[in-house]
Structure 1
Amino acid sequence: MPHTDDDVVDQILATYDTITVVGASTAPEKAAHRVPVHMQNHGWRIIPVNPKADELFGEKVYRVLADIGEQVGLVDVFRPSEDAGEIARQAAAAGATALWLQLGIVSAEARKIAVDAGMLYVEDRCLIIEQRRLGVNAPN
């Protein structure tokens, strides 16, 4: 079992080939658009979750996590910290095994829910920064 945040980051990026992005944005200037595109360009499949879009990154968009008709592994969150607890609950209900809160998003409630559900958990870290630091692409 990982013992530091860096260990968890390493494990997540080495394990998951699909990233479910809650709060994926249609606006190219936003991090919630740029980060999924970057990760997709490095081999990860993106499953976007956004209540107002139909397609993003060449993928079908789901309104909520519960609508996704396949196993959810890694959930990446681009929503305000105050929304993170509810998203963590939804992720746990969907059977997610990892929860990642992007840079600037911190939630003790989300951490407790994720840990209690047995999920790997990262908060206040950016997927692009960590992917570049580790120099990795999606696992095959």
Structure 2
Amino acid sequence: MSPEKLLEDFKNWAVVGVSADKERYGYKIYKKLKAHGYNVFGINPGIQELDGDKVYKSLKDLPEKVDVVNFVVNPKIGISVVEDCAAEGVKYIWLQPGTVSDEVLELASEKEIEAVQACVLVGLSYKDQNK
């Protein structure tokens, strides 16, 4: 599935590696998705809330199923996140630059999870320009 179609068709997202640091992509991606009207859950076992929103320790802790999981984590951590996605029935993952490895892609393929490799910030900016 194309990045544009994923952004258009699915509105329930999780951002794994969300950050309270406004300079980090985990923060920027989370806020940009929310600003575009997506239902977004932050995941980071190291923080409990972000700008008043609850942050969850893992995918299994979310109050509802998400359609897409955006990765903003090291590929070594990404392996276990792919496993979590498979266990939770997530069919789409969005791999930010720097989160991709052969192991992550191979495991996603094995688990029948479709992986998009792109920057979601660029995709949302493109969407803004073409309204």
Matches within 5 A, 1:55-134: 55-123=49-117, 125-134=118-127
Give the match for residue 18 of structure 2: 24
Question: Structure 2: where are the runs of 5+ without partners?
Answer: none
Q: Which amino acid aligns with 1:55?
A: E
Q: Which amino acid aligns with 2:106?
A: K
Question: Structure 1: where are the runs of 5+ without partners?
Answer: 3-7
Dislocated runs of 4+, deviation >4 Å: none
CA distance in 2, matches of 1:128, 1:61: 21
Q: Which amino acid aligns with 1:45?
A: N
CA distance in 2, matches of 1:101, 1:136: 23
Q: State the 1:136 CA deviation.
A: 7.7
Q: Which amino acid aligns with 1:72?
A: V
Task: Among all aligned residue pairs of Structure 1 and Structure 2, give the percentage whose two residues are the same amino acid.
Answer: 27
CA contact (8 A) 1:88 1:113 kept: yes
CA distance in 2, matches of 1:127, 1:40: 12
TM-score, normalized by length of structure 1?
0.83
Q: State the 1:74 CA deviation.
A: 0.5
Q: State the 1:81 CA deviation.
A: 1.8
Q: Deviations over 1:94-125 (max 9, x none)?
A: 111111111222122221222232222112x2
